Amino acid sequence: MSGAVGMGVVGAGSIGIRAALDHLSLDDVQDRVRLAAVCDPAPGRAAAAAEKYGVPAAYESYDELLADPNVDAVTLCSPIGIHFEQGLAALRAGKHVHFNKTMTITTAGADTLIEEAALRGLRMVASPGQMLRPLNRRVRRLVQEGALGRLAWASTGAAFGQYHENEGVRQGDGPLTNISPVWYWRQPGGGPMYDMTVYGLHSLTGVLGPARAVTGFSGVAVTEREFRSVTHTCDAHDNTVLLLDFGDNLFAFVYGTVAGTVTHFGLTSIFGTSGQIEGDELNGRPLEYPGREEAAASPIGDNALLPHVVGPHATLGEAHVYEDIMQLVDWIRDGIPSPATAEHARHVIEIIEAGYRAAETASAQELRTTFEPVDGE
């Protein structure tokens, strides 16, 4: 298409503000993408966001946003548990879709979204686009070239901690600063696997390729959390450990826990008979990749190396999500497919879903989905 893509921001919460509105309201992107509308069911929140960021339309109803002819695409910055129904509705309304992680929480739902988008000729980009990172592309190349010898095992994961309770957008009294984190602790869609470990899983599978089977253990370790002096019951699994089988006796340990990490967030540790990669180190020394020095000097780390994170965007938060949104914009405008594919996201979703099922049934689960990994560089 010619002209700027009209973007509808769905959810004016923490991610909607920091990843979409903060970035897409800047002057340097207006020739490619413009904020067309914002919606949020919390009374007054969409209107407050529209006023602050100069968005021409504000809705409490998602259906009204989808009916807006100025909206060409949506970025779903809403709770994970409702991504499927919102994504499907957007596709059926003729809108392209960017899914914040994760695209949905079931493999069947991901199948439906992929089929619907193909049927209607619409584009979908699914965060997190971890294989856009030069470090991950270099790690994949080293693995492909056999630099680590015979691969033995790998690991990745993340811990919940109290990150969401302490975000700045949740500490005030106004509609854009009193945003509740409670959904992160509840089913469907809550817990560290869908919210945080998903980054490492995209890196791990992006480097090693699709997994074949999963087993593991999972449960709820912290049954109550307090936010603003109110106690909330937690039923989302927050303590999960999985074992993945990549075939040829290559295994990986994956975790999404209440506390404690043994890997770099969003990255991987990979061990072979001739060497090892742990985060951004090769055999205990800095791993050389394009832009390493720039990433080390940047306050946002290797987010500064993402293609669209330039100028003022390199000073703002959630730049990696902004990058994924711009990947969708490029695909719509210029026909450039993104490495952040729905098929890769579906495979990661299947790993998590099947991992929970393995924990519940005490039996390993074979995986059926696959995707085409990005080549290393």
Query: How many other C-beta atoms lie within 10 A of the C-beta of residue 237?
Result: 22
Architecture per CATH, domain 5-126, reads as 3-Layer(aba) Sandwich (3.40)
In this predicted model, what pLDDT tens digit does every residue of 31-53 receive, in sequence order? 999 999 999 999 999 999 999 99
pLDDT of residue 263: 87
- DSSP designation for 339: S
Confidence of residue 159 (pLDDT cuts 50, 70, 90): very high
**Cα–Cα distance measured from residue 344 to residue 299, given in angstroms and rounded to the nearest whole number:** 29
CA 267 to each of CA 104, 158, 242, 293, 363: distance values in angstroms, whole numbers, following the listed order: 22, 10, 16, 18, 28
Average pLDDT, the chain: 96
Confidence of residue 167 (pLDDT cuts 50, 70, 90): confident
CA 281 to each of CA 155, 243, 284, 292: distance values in angstroms, whole numbers, following the listed order: 14, 23, 5, 11
pLDDT of residue 294: 96
Task: Go through the chain and tell me how many residues it has.
Answer: 377
CA 217 to each of CA 152, 156, 239, 357: distance values in angstroms, whole numbers, following the listed order: 22, 16, 8, 9
In this predicted model, what pLDDT tens digit does every residue of 52-86 receive, in sequence order? 999 999 999 999 999 999 999 999 999 999 999 99
In this predicted model, what pLDDT tens digit does every residue of 279-288 receive, in sequence order? 999 999 999 9
Domain 131-306+340-366 listed as CATH 3.30.360.10: yes
> In this structure, are residues 195 and 179 in contact, taking their beta carbons and an 8 Å threshold?
no
- Give domain limits for the chain: 5-126, 131-306+340-366
**Cα–Cα distance measured from residue 164 to residue 234, given in angstroms and rounded to the nearest whole number:** 14
pLDDT of residue 377: 84
| Residues of the chain above pLDDT 90, percent | 94
Confidence of residue 264 (pLDDT cuts 50, 70, 90): confident
pTM summary value: 0.97
Confidence of residue 296 (pLDDT cuts 50, 70, 90): very high
With a cut of 90, say whether residue 165 has pLDDT above it. Answer: no
Closest to 353 (Cα-Cα) out of 259, 214, 243: 214
| Residues of the chain above pLDDT 70, percent | 100
Closest to 92 (Cα-Cα) out of 127, 122, 65: 122
pLDDT of residue 342: 98
**Cα–Cα distance measured from residue 326 to residue 317, given in angstroms and rounded to the nearest whole number:** 15
